[in-house]
Structure 1
Amino acid sequence: MRAILIILALFFLNGCTTIKPSVAQYSIVIDNLNTNSSALGCKEKSLKISNAFASSSLASHTMEYMESNNRVFAYTQSQWQESPSEMTELVLLKGIRESELFKSVHPSKSRIKSTLMLETNIEEFMQFFSEDLKESHVEVILNLSLIDAKTNSVLGSKTFRSRVETKSLDAKGGVEAFKSALSEIMSQNIEWLDGACR
């Protein structure tokens, strides 16, 4: 009798628990960037990628989107593995390293003193939906400044913009579009850095 009561108690306790669906985590990794540069002006210089300046929402792991009435919502079953500001820094670090434009490229937390610094301001990083919710696109706007670390003087500054339509009206479609947008900006960024170093 005692065993039956224990089994019944466990059954009822199990019935009271709610099963929370797992949250899908997304990250952006850009491969096969055509970033080789022929510039010679930076080959003997080192570069440090500074922490990206961004709004507090871009420093979180929440995936947000905006509808046409300018209301911002968050995906409930999807989130970023790293925040958009962290991902942007990682994409810049990887892409500029692969370009071999500089002697060495270091993350913001590195103790190495670099010749130059790349300052990043994320002005836009959002997925947008049309009024009827039948179309969606992402927009990424980055302002980059190349700074002489010794004098703190700005050697060059440029704003890069990319808008990409999503292939599906969900978080996954947004992530794929963000990847394309950042790839486009990275290619433009390498070309700009190439000119800024001449």
Structure 2
Amino acid sequence: MSRATFVVLCVVSLSGCALLSPVKTDSKQYTLNDIPLDLPSERTHSATLLVLVPEAGPLYATTQMAYTTQAYQIAYFSQNEWAETPSQMIEPLIVETLRHTHYFSDVLSSPDFDRHTFTLRSEILEIKQDFTSEPAMLQLTMRFNLSREATNQVIATKELSVREPMLERNPYAGVVAANEAVAKLLRELVIFVVDNAN
């Protein structure tokens, strides 16, 4: 084999390896961790509440961060994502918020299925950055069902929705707005739960 042929084969071989190597991307991960402050402290009742992990459709049951630039269209950022799915991040925030009210003797979360008086089920209907408006908005919509465990009867259902303005038109501004939206929605959730858990 001639030396020139050998060199060509080596170059082709090495370039093939480079093509098969994984592409490194600097993906940024973000969290939802804000809860409402200065919640009213309620008189403690003997009732207990079980909070289930929020359900979510395929669009939002992912760590991908959704946005829209035109009606009827959803896309995902390529280098910005949630550290966990929105459901996984929002469930502990619901639990912590409801514990801070002191209304229930205990607020449980899955997989802790001890005896409880009420169950709170929820569903994430929307959590996306909306760039079709000026300013851009973070849209968060959830549906909640409160049921009495003894009878498995739904006591109340409520859909809560928050549109929070984004200070800039970029993914990070959307994350900041998402945290503010979650805190506002949780404050409304407290009113819904306390008003109906009696």
Same fold (TM over 0.5): yes
Structure 1: where are the runs of 5+ without partners? 1-8
- The question of whether the paired residues in 2 share the 8 Å contact of 1:24 and 1:77 is answered with yes
Partner of 2:118: 116
4+ residue stretches of structure 1 with deviation over 4 A?
16-19
CA contact (8 A) 2:95 2:109 kept: yes
Q: Secondary structure at the match of 2:40?
A: coil
CA RMSD in angstroms comes to 2.4
Contact 2:60 2:126 (8 Å CA) reproduced: no
Count of matched residue positions in the alignment of Structure 1 and Structure 2: 185
Which residue does 1:76 correspond to in 2?
Answer: 78
Match of 1:105 in 2: 107
Map Cα deviations across residues 5-59 of structure 1 (whole Å, 9 max, x no partner).
Answer: xxxx9xx88xx5676232111001115622233255xx21111111312102222
Paired residues of 1:67 and 1:129 also in contact (CA < 8 A): yes
Assess if the C-alpha contact under 8 Å between 1:39 and 1:194 holds in 2: no
Q: Secondary structure at the match of 1:146?
A: strand
Partners of 1:39 and 1:126 in 2: CA distance: 36
Aligned amino acid, residue 63 of structure 1:
M
Match of 2:56 among 48, 54, 60: 54
What is the match of residue 24 of structure 2? 20
C-alpha distance in 1, partners of 2:59/2:42?
A: 38
Is 1:65 the counterpart of 2:67 in the alignment?
A: yes
Partner amino acid for 1:28?
L
1:35 to 2:52 alignment: no
Unaligned runs of 5+ in 2: 1-10
CA distance in 1 between partners of 2:145 and 2:23 (Å): 48
Contact kept? 1:117, 1:146, Cα under 8 Å: yes
Retained in 1: the 8 A contact 2:42–2:101?
no
The alpha carbon displacement at 1:117 in A equals: 0.3
What residue number does 1:6 align with?
A: none
SS in 1 for 2:67: strand
User: What does residue 184 of structure 2 align with?
Assistant: 184
Q: Do the aligned partners of 1:39 and 1:197 also contact (CA within 8 Å) in 2? A: no
CA contact (8 A) 1:36 1:101 kept: no
- Is the CA contact (8 Å cut-off) linking 2:60 and 2:66 kept in structure 1? no
Q: Distance in 1 between matches of 2:60 and 2:111?
A: 19
